Amino acid sequence: MVKKCLLMAGWVLVGWPLQGFSAPKTCGTETTPCEHPRRLGAVRSVQITQGAHPAYPTVPAQSCDRFVLRLSQATRYLQMAGQTTANAQHHVTDESACVVTGQVKLVNGQMGTWVIGEEREGRLVWPDGRVEYLYCSRCPSPPFTPM
């Protein structure tokens, strides 16, 4: 994560600044992970396959009634969310008790499965097993928990 943060701040790993940048910056906070730009590609369709449901067996299903993620909000999340690491997502963000799952299909034909949690964290799983860990500090609440 640190390497990515330094690269985003305009520093190469040996410490030489890239043109147009001057000093390293920090990213993320104690409660939000670093978010790195990502390009999803042109989206053909987004589908919700399961509305709000417990992320863990110990979460009562009724507690997820308050997390309502509309299709337009899921689409916007997938377009706005930054990429983070599994480690940052697990150790920095609160884990959502409730999640919504669905499918995304890109114009190039690539399909993936997404999971978006009420605490603004998510992941996108591609058929080859690759997982993109996501976080969206810019996504509004509601439907997400206020920061």
In the DSSP assignment, the letter for residue 146 is P
Mean pLDDT on 46-71? 93
Residue predicted with more confidence, 111 or 6 = 111
CA proximity to 59, closest of 118, 10, 114: 118
Its pTM stands at 0.73
pLDDT single digits (tens) 42-56: 788 999 999 999 998
What residues does 11 pair with on adjacent strands?
A: 17
How many residues are present in the chain? 147
Residue predicted with more confidence, 19 or 79 = 79
Euclidean distance between CA atoms 112 and 47, whole angstroms: 11
pLDDT at 85: 81
